[in-house]
A and B are shown apart, each in its own frame.
Chain A
Amino acid sequence: MKKILLIFYPEWIKIVNYRTFWILCGLYAATLVLLLFSLQGILDNITVNVNNKSPLPIPSFPVYAFPGVWQNLTYIAGFLKMFPAFLVIILITNEFTFRTLKQQVITGTSRLEFMTAKITLILALSVAVAFLVAITGLLAGLMQNSQDFKLILSPKLLFIAAHALELMTYMMFAAFLAVLLKRAGITVIVFLLYSIILERILSFKLPDNIGRFLPLEAAGNLVPLPNSSLMKLFGVSFSEFTSWQDTAICFGWIVVFILAIYRILLKRDL
């Protein structure tokens, strides 16, 4: 543990005075919190609008009700999961564009130590974001009246951990691309092309039982779409829990990305 902290200390010096990083972090955190807090208002608005035309009255959906809040918020937070991946791309490609990775290696940092530091950074980022979602959920839930607060601690709290894993899978994929491509611009473009277009085409073409093995697909499946009152009305029901298969697939990909990053670092001139 002490060794990890020692390896992480230079990473801390690198980010603590890095204004770009903190501005992006601030924007991301603000957007995330704002989105989560305004969720109820948006949904109520939609319900009212739809109710005007609907023959059946659609009941309103209490987004922040414990324990459903954990699934609702982590699902919505998932829409912003690209953001921390971009942060990782910037922090890793910086080491190549500034040639500071080379400098650190000739100073005595091993490639393994460099990689460990970056993985620690990814871990810290995903835990921090998941924690922010949890705090937001707790506050939003507490502010909504007539709640059963005994339901705060429920197995659904595991969705917070699932969201952290979802972010980690995304960020490890981004880290892999960043180490492979070395330049921020091209990494961001390839990352977007793959995540928005390519993987969707693949998962559309492949049968479901194979498509679910794709890394971003598996990450997205960790927090399933919550069952809203509308869906209950139609009798549709989604999973209420994170499946262990999706969890295993994500961990599998994380290991694959780490091994690939290590191999690239070992086999390439810096």
Chain B
Amino acid sequence: MEDNILKVEGLSKNYGKLRALSGLDLSINKGQVFGLLGPNGSGKTTTLGIILGATLPDKGSFRWFGQPLAGKSLKRIGAILEHPNFYPYLDAVDNLRIIAQVRCTPEQDIERVLQLTGLSDRRKHRFQTYSFGMKQRLAIASAMLGNPEVLILDEPTNGLDPGGIAEIRELITSIASLGTTIILASHLLDEVQKVCSHVAVLQKGVKLFSGSVDDVLSNTETIVIGSADLSKLETVLKDYPHYLSHTIRGNYAELKTRGMCNPSDVNQFLFSKGISCSHLVMNKKSLESYFLEITGNHPGSEKI
């Protein structure tokens, strides 16, 4: 267990009558890029606020590096939480000097993180003159100050333009490749899918799922089949040896199989039963549709 970075047990938090988090368990190991996925208001920021010591939990406990939270462990963690929070009247360098001082990081590191986040040109401009995207970059820069062992990023690509989003994702991936553990909260599934190795899905403060991203994706392959006689196709499909389930979407049948999908095998089977396919596509489902499935917002559910 020496590789365990963060262990969260039974974390609960209410805001008045609103239940923000109930009984959350998490375990994050060294080197993971851990995605915390959920729609707005699902408890992602509350979770991060608690493990960073800014929000007080009603119940439950958590341990960083096997120890209760203290300033010492926080100094090994770089974090952005919700909005970028800086002194509007100070420039980027002065704002980072304050953070560097708290983290006991030499001030020379400021230039490096400003360069990494593309803010070097504006380093002497006051924070209040920044666009939202630049503010977000400064927040990411402050989190990376002093090369922390753990990086916590709450919606890091919020407010960035497409170029900026790609840059920041590349940056996250390159930091992760150096062995830094990353916890990334996002409502963008695509982002989690592209960047993360592990994921926990939250909804209304409850954890619905957690595991590796590959595990989630392995069970999400389907084969979309089109044929002239859809009703005949349906009856025949049920006899397919590896048949698991199917759904009808418009003029196509979407087949789920036991084990790995094998389109040519399916094609051969259908042909032997006298059905010729007009359309046969293997569909690797995105995490997004899986996510919508487990959160109960199936996009095709009304069509079934």
Contact residues of A with B, CB < 8 Å? 6, 9-10, 13-14, 17-20, 94, 98-100, 102-110, 113, 267-270
Q: Is B18 close to A, CB under 8 A?
A: no
Closest 5 interchain pairs by CB?
A108-B74, A99-B85, A106-B52, A103-B85, A108-B75
From A13, A18, A110, A270, give the contact of B71 (CB < 8 A): A110
Closest Cβ neighbor of B81 among chain A residues: A106
From A100, A106, A267, give the contact of B79 (CB < 8 A): A106
Q: Is B39 close to A, CB under 8 A?
A: no
Asked if A99 and B53 make an inter-chain contact with CB atoms under 8 angstroms apart, the answer reads: no
Give chain B nearest CB distance to A174 CB in angstroms: 20
Asked if A100 and B102 make an inter-chain contact with CB atoms under 8 angstroms apart, the answer reads: no
With a CB–CB cut-off of 8 A, which chain A residues contact B101? 6, 9-10, 13
Q: Given A102-B81, A269-B56: A107 and B90 within 8 A (CB)?
A: no
Contact residues of B with A, CB < 8 Å? 49, 52-56, 71-72, 74-75, 79, 81, 83, 85-91, 94, 97-99, 101-103, 142
A101 to B173, CA, bound (A): 30
Cβ contacts A to B, 5 pairs, < 8 Å: A102-B85, A106-B54, A106-B74, A107-B103, A108-B102
Asked if A17 and B94 make an inter-chain contact with CB atoms under 8 angstroms apart, the answer reads: yes
Asked if A270 and B90 make an inter-chain contact with CB atoms under 8 angstroms apart, the answer reads: no
Q: Given A105-B54, A270-B54: A98 and B103 within 8 A (CB)?
A: no
Asked if A13 and B98 make an inter-chain contact with CB atoms under 8 angstroms apart, the answer reads: yes
Asked if A109 and B89 make an inter-chain contact with CB atoms under 8 angstroms apart, the answer reads: no
Give chain A nearest CB distance to B285 CB in angstroms: 36
With a CB–CB cut-off of 8 A, which chain B residues contact A10? 97-98, 101-102
With a CB–CB cut-off of 8 A, which chain A residues contact B87? 14, 18, 94, 98, 100
A99 to B142, CA, bound (A): 15
Closest Cβ neighbor of A11 among chain B residues: B98
